[in-house]
Amino acid sequence: MLPVVAIIGRANVGKSTLYNRLVGKREAITADWSGTTRDRLYGECTWSGKNFILVDTAGLEIDRKKSIDLEILEQINVAINEADLLLFLVDTKTGITDKDLEAIKKIRLSEKPFIVVANKCDNAKDACLVEEFYKLGAKLIMPVSATSGRGTGDLLDSVVNNLKFDQKKSKATNATKEEVVVAIAGRPNVGKSSLLNKLIGIDRAVVSDRAGTTRDASNYSLEHNEKKITFYDTAGVRKRGKVGKSDEGYRPGQIERYSVLRSLRAIEKSSIVLLLVDASEGITAQDLHVLGYALDAKKSVILVINKWDRVEDGDMQEYLGTVSRKIPFLSYAPIIFVSAKTGKNVHKIFDLILETHKSRFIRIPTSELNSRLHEEILKKSPPAQRNILPNIKYITQTEVDPPTFVFFSNHPELIHFSYVRFLENRIREHWNFEGTPINISFRKKN
């Protein structure tokens, strides 16, 4: 799993400006007044070849004399608890305030490692003001200017030096051959909690017709055919522009922003994602957004068309044709039509899960792999590029979970992505990798 870094601080110290600077995109809304951060929460940051998730939080307002939204503070605590490292942002111009002192107490209570970041340090003269912040008891203070970018490179160096990165990047899952970890994901109000209740046989998850009921990623384990299956019921994931927006005002939307982070972590923990789709609405852009998270993380996918009982005169073949046109790149994923409300076909999901999980651990002997695929390659060789004909000379499978194949070629850089898709299709024709993504890479062989 990618480490998580949360930017913490009182309102209007430049948290969103720093977030935009570090992720390299103008995604968080910034303004000169407090309380602006609502829509954007998280993004992936890359520095020195290391990736981590950066979280932009709302202002830590702890002045009890004012009307404080305790629910928002509670969700900021969630962000703090989920983080591996905290960036405590302060304002060099204003110095230490009472709110900064209250905030540092909260950070210390979390017992999480933190770096004090002195923002608005625009020149060498401002850098002299940084000494004051050592009163906060910090071991490390980084002077930066989020607006100009001054000092942010040194800050990122400190961040990656204070994080622990998993060397086995492809193994960001708790699953083994004996254990299956499944995330139930999808848009808000598609029936994720109802499905979980039917799968485990008890009303563990709170169910409501109101979207956004599930805020945390809860889990439940059971055994099926001598396999341990752990289900994660996640909060609904919506498109980035929709996260934090609600017809009910600020509070529900703000809570949902932090639920998204937990949903993404639940997907990372899993090996299989049950992507729930509302049958009455069909595949939407938001469904594709959720699917993108799963595919980027190399998770197996089972498409679950829920609420099929609500579709009058539903034609499954016609519906499958629509799904195929919407997501042609996911033709390898199994599709099942269910009703979480009535329980129809829900029991069949277990067999699909075990079959899909099994396909993640298929290992093909090198001799068999070469004999079968070389016949396909002879029928259709890689197209010539710049008057050079690339040849594939040798193939081997290097990993499972997910299956990873390496093709050795005299000119691997000239293999077009369309030919990569051709090779993947041929692999899937010969061997059953149902629901499971395949990694294909090329290496130089003289």
* Whole-number pLDDT of residue 69: 53
Same domain, 347 and 437: no
**Distance between CA atoms of 423 and 425, rounded to whole angstroms?**
5
**CATH code at 36?**
3.40.50.300
Residues of the chain with pLDDT under 70: 1, 25-42, 61-75, 166-177, 202-219, 235-263, 312-313, 446
* Whole-number pLDDT of residue 29: 38
Which DSSP string corresponds to 121-160? --SHHHHGGGGGGGGGT-S-EEE--TTT-TTHHHHHHHHH
> Structural domain tally of the chain?
3
Provide the β-strand partners of residue 219: 232
* Whole-number pLDDT of residue 244: 47
Of residues 390, 423, 419, the one with CA closest to residue 405: 423
Same domain, 157 and 174: no
* Whole-number pLDDT of residue 265: 72
**Distance between CA atoms of 178 and 152, rounded to whole angstroms?**
45
* Whole-number pLDDT of residue 72: 58
* Whole-number pLDDT of residue 337: 93
CB atoms within 10 A of CB 31: 11
**CATH code at 393?**
3.30.300.20
User: What token pair was written down for 150?
Assistant: 């001054």
| Residue in this structure with the two tokens 């193939």, named with its chain if needed | 395
Which residues, at least 6 apart from 413, have a Cβ–Cβ distance to it below 8 Å?
Answer: 442
Using only C-alpha atoms, the chain has a radius of gyration, in whole angstroms, of: 25
Asked if residue 403 lies in contact with residue 381, where contact means CB atoms within 8 angstroms, the answer is no
Of residues 182, 232, 231, 186, the one with CA closest to residue 211: 186
Same domain, 64 and 138: yes
φ/ψ of 234, rounded to 5, equals -100, 155
* Whole-number pLDDT of residue 80: 83
* Whole-number pLDDT of residue 1: 62
CB atoms within 10 A of CB 149: 12
Same domain, 120 and 14: yes
* Whole-number pLDDT of residue 271: 92
CB atoms within 10 A of CB 71: 14
Same domain, 279 and 392: no
* DSSP β-ladder status, 439-444 and 50-56: unpaired
Three-state SS at 112:
coil
Q: Domain ends where: 359, 385, 418? A: 359
Provide the β-strand partners of residue 46: 51
C-alpha distances (whole Å) from 366 to each of 273, 370, 394 are 30, 6, 9
* Whole-number pLDDT of residue 358: 93
Q: Residue 147 belongs to what domain range?
A: 4-161
Same domain, 332 and 191: yes
**Distance between CA atoms of 218 and 37, rounded to whole angstroms?**
27
* Whole-number pLDDT of residue 177: 63
Same domain, 113 and 233: no
Same domain, 274 and 199: yes
* Whole-number pLDDT of residue 245: 46
Same domain, 110 and 254: no
Same domain, 131 and 154: yes
Same domain, 300 and 421: no
Same domain, 354 and 418: no
User: What token pair was written down for 228?
Assistant: 């341990």
Which DSSP string corresponds to 298-366? T-EEEEEEE-GGGSTT--HHHHHHHHHHH-GGGTTS-EEE-BTTTTBTTTHHHHHHHHHHHHTT----H
C-alpha distances (whole Å) from 128 to each of 17, 125, 138, 145 are 22, 6, 17, 14
Q: Give all strands (DSSP E) within 262-403, no chain letters.
A: 272-278, 300-306, 335-337, 392-399
Instruction: Give tens-digit pLDDT for 350-366.
Output: 999 999 999 999 999 99
The amino acid occupying position 24 is: G
Q: Domain ends where: 359, 390, 412? A: 359
Long-range contacts of 125-129 (CB under 8 A, 24+ apart): 126/92, 126/93, 129/92, 129/93, 129/95
Asked if residue 203 lies in contact with residue 197, where contact means CB atoms within 8 angstroms, the answer is yes
C-alpha distances (whole Å) from 184 to each of 174, 271, 290, 341, 404 are 15, 11, 11, 16, 25
| CA terminus-to-terminus distance, the chain | 36
* Whole-number pLDDT of residue 73: 67
User: What token pair was written down for 15?
Assistant: 């948290």
Asked if residue 263 lies in contact with residue 237, where contact means CB atoms within 8 angstroms, the answer is yes
Q: Domain ends where: 117, 139, 161? A: 161
**pTM of the entire predicted model:** 0.60
